[in-house]
Amino acid sequence: MGGRPVAMPEQAVILVGGLGTRLRPLTYRTPKALLPVVNRPLISYELEWLRRAGVRQVLLAVGYQADILRGALGQGSAWGLDLAYVEEEEPLDTAGALKNCAARLHGRFWALNGDLIFDFDPAPMVRQHCQKGAVLSLTLRRVEDISPFGLILRDECGQVTGFLEKVSEDPTGQRTVNAGVYLMEPEALESVPPGRPWSNERNLFPGLVASGATVLGFLPETMPYWLDVGRLDTYLQANRDLLSGALPWVRAETAAGASLEPGARIIPPCSLAEGVIVRAGAQVGPFVSLGAGVEVGERARLRETVVLAGAKIGRQAQLSEVVIAPEEAVPPDYQQQGGVVFSG
């Protein structure tokens, strides 16, 4: 994190109260934030980035499946952070969830959408935010196809001037969209009504711009990786990307407690967790993650697939670009390309 030293924020809020509807049925029993990507929880990638950015305390804005999240993540010692849980009784949307955390915020803070994996140097963003006295800075990314996104418009000084929702052409040529990572001052939340659903994108951000507040758009010089892991296809893509080395601090590994029978073949890159058994003649890979306690039957074939903890793959099954739900039993000779194996 180069450049002149800046005082980095020590608090962050991660929005993890959503239902994970786009990843159902996987999220019926497991919160989206806990779905494993290369055998570590999705949220752990944001926690790692925040720790590296100097954050000490992370407030998790929770709602749906809050007890499961709390039980799995604990107080955050595994990531060198202090985790606190701020629960909403009714869904409050994104800005409403941030407002629900306001009493526990003691200064400038990061706010993150909870389904992202990304990497960029935060120090230049903090420096710009402080130098220009911003109440809100939005991390931006540049895309080729703007049609699925809302554009964020900026002037020559980086001040956000407006928002265009899902247009086919960009009159400015900037092609900059929201990356879901925000740097905020506590006063940015003063206009949010407490206890009411309120949206960042529809209410808070446009309202701050209209009020004349200093709202900046920050486009990192480099963003080595960014992905919204909110759908089945991007969930599988995240697994492929990270196994391929998209984040230098994530490696494809085989746990010491995993075992391969004679004739079993692993085609890298793959991740095998503790207690995995790959039976004789099975072929696993490339781009496969096997969760804890997974068993792959004799002569089964798996590629570009995520098998969650405790699942059993029958002998001679053939699976490609599939996610196997936890504890599933895939029958012998079963074949599937794409989709989810989930019996409810």
Q: Which domains does the chain have, with CATH numbers?
A: 11-243 (3.90.550.10), 259-341 (2.160.10.10)
209-231 pLDDT per residue, tens: 999 999 999 999 888 899 999 88
37-59 pLDDT per residue, tens: 999 999 999 999 999 999 999 99
Average pLDDT over residues 282-301: 97
As a whole number, the mean pLDDT across the chain is: 91
Going 198 to 199 to 205 to 210, the CA torsion angle's sign is: negative
> How far apart (Å, rounded) are the C-alpha atoms in residues 252 and 230?
22
Q: For the chain, what percent of residues have pLDDT higher than 90?
A: 70
The verdict on whether omega for the bond into residue 171 sits within 30 degrees of 0, i.e. cis, is: no
The verdict on whether omega for the bond into residue 36 sits within 30 degrees of 0, i.e. cis, is: no
Q: Exposed (0-12), middle (13-18) or buried (19+): which is 84, by Cβ within 10 Å?
A: middle
Pick 309 or 230 by higher pLDDT.
309
Across the chain, which distance is largest between two alpha carbons, in Å?
Answer: 68
250-291 pLDDT per residue, tens: 888 999 999 999 999 999 999 999 999 999 999 999 999 999
265-266 and 225-228 strand pairing: unpaired
**Two tokens, residue 193:** 């009504």
> How far apart (Å, rounded) are the C-alpha atoms in residues 103 and 84?
13
Nearest to 216 by CA among 169, 160, 161, 176: 160
Average pLDDT over residues 304-319: 96
pTM of the model: 0.91
**Two tokens, residue 302:** 């798996």
> How far apart (Å, rounded) are the C-alpha atoms in residues 283 and 288?
10
**Two tokens, residue 279:** 């039976």
Average pLDDT over residues 292-320: 97
> How far apart (Å, rounded) are the C-alpha atoms in residues 44 and 249?
12
Q: How many Cα atoms sit within 13 Å of 91 on the Cβ side?
A: 8
